[in-house]
Amino acid sequence: MSPDSDIALDGEGPLHQQIRRAIARPILAGRWPPGRRIPSEHELMQRFGVSRMTVNRALASLANEGLIARKRKAGTVVAIPSAERAVFEIWDISAEIARSGATHSMTLIRREVGPAAPAEADVLRVPADTPILRLVLCHASDGEPIQFEDRLVNIAAAPGILSARLEDIAPGRWLLDHVPWTEAEHAIRAAEANAEIAAHLKIRRGSACLVVERHTWRGDTPITFARLTSPAGAQVLVGRFRPSAG
């Protein structure tokens, strides 16, 4: 069996996107470490039975997003992940903490299952009374509280979340691993800590926090809404850009 036997087309959507996913999946899942060689366009072209233009389109798009690095003659390899991706792509605090070398821990503050109240239905963008899971928790890095997470999950869109062991794995991480998303939206703003958040993050009430709110969808159905609050100094979102060369 070929060493890249884990890549395969899934038959969904345009070919170039299938190829994209086929390559992106093992990278994002961590099965292909940075530096790992990716088959050349010719090889992929034969393996998938498509034209080189189509392979090229897929790989160019991945390169454009910094997932892979390409060099003429040298070939294509999995790019070393920069902070960049973390900001814009999906965003997992436990991975972030692990990367910095610290230990991640988590305290579950609240966990409720039930029909969505009007306000909740509104933010999650589901009909009222949709069954949802509400989670409130606090992440810590080496014991230092670093992020307060308030999350709503559309249970219908994430079957299995109710039986997930959320003491061991961050809910964001669990969802990333188990529920494929097709669209996400971030809103980033500053806000002042309310009493509850201040208590859990061990900061002064009213002190500045960075708030990231994220909606995630699969097609038209909302999967989850998360409001992630970090103390002013604890988190900086960094992104690097080009003048958007296609």
163-202 residues in contact with DNA (CB under 7 A) are none
Give Cβ neighbours of residue 2 (< 8 Å, ≥ 6 apart): 47
Q: Which of 28, 36, 60, 217 binds DNA (CB under 7 A)?
A: 60
Q: Which is closer to DNA, CB of 73 or CB of 165?
A: 73
Q: Which is closer to DNA, CB of 51 or CB of 100?
A: 51
Contact (CB, 8 A) for 234 and 146? yes
Give the containing element (helix H, strand E) for 53: helix 52-64
Quick one: what does residue 169 bind among DNA, a copy of itself, none, with the CB cut-off 5 to 8 Å set by partner type? none
Contact (CB, 8 A) for 30 and 177? no
Count of CB atoms situated within 10 Å of the CB of 82:
12
E strands present in 15-63: 37-38
d(CA 59, CA 74): 15
Contact (CB, 8 A) for 192 and 210? no
Quick one: what does residue 68 bind among a copy of itself, DNA, none, with the CB cut-off 5 to 8 Å set by partner type? none
Binding mask 49-88 for a copy of itself (x = CB under 8 A): --------xx-xxx-xx-x-------------------xx
- Would you count residue 195 as binding a copy of itself (CB under 8 A)? no
Quick one: what does residue 181 bind among DNA, a copy of itself, none, with the CB cut-off 5 to 8 Å set by partner type? a copy of itself
Q: Which residue has the tokens 């991480």?
A: 173
Contact (CB, 8 A) for 34 and 66? no
Quick one: what does residue 42 bind among a copy of itself, DNA, none, with the CB cut-off 5 to 8 Å set by partner type? DNA
Q: To the nearest whole angstrom, how small is the minimum distance from the Cβ of residue 68 to DNA? A: 9
Q: Which long-range contacts (CB under 8 A, 24 or more apart) does 240-246 make?
A: 240/82, 240/84, 245/64, 246/64
- Would you count residue 149 as binding DNA (CB under 7 A)? no
The closest of 206, 214, 172 to 190, measured between CA atoms, is 206
Q: Which is closer to a copy of itself, CB of 83 or CB of 128?
A: 83
- Would you count residue 42 as binding DNA (CB under 7 A)? yes
Binding site for DNA (CB under 7 A): 14-17, 38, 40-42, 49-54, 56-57, 59-60, 63, 70-76
Binding site for a copy of itself (CB under 8 A): 16-17, 20-21, 24, 57-58, 60-62, 64-65, 67, 87-90, 180-192, 206-211, 230, 232-233, 235-246
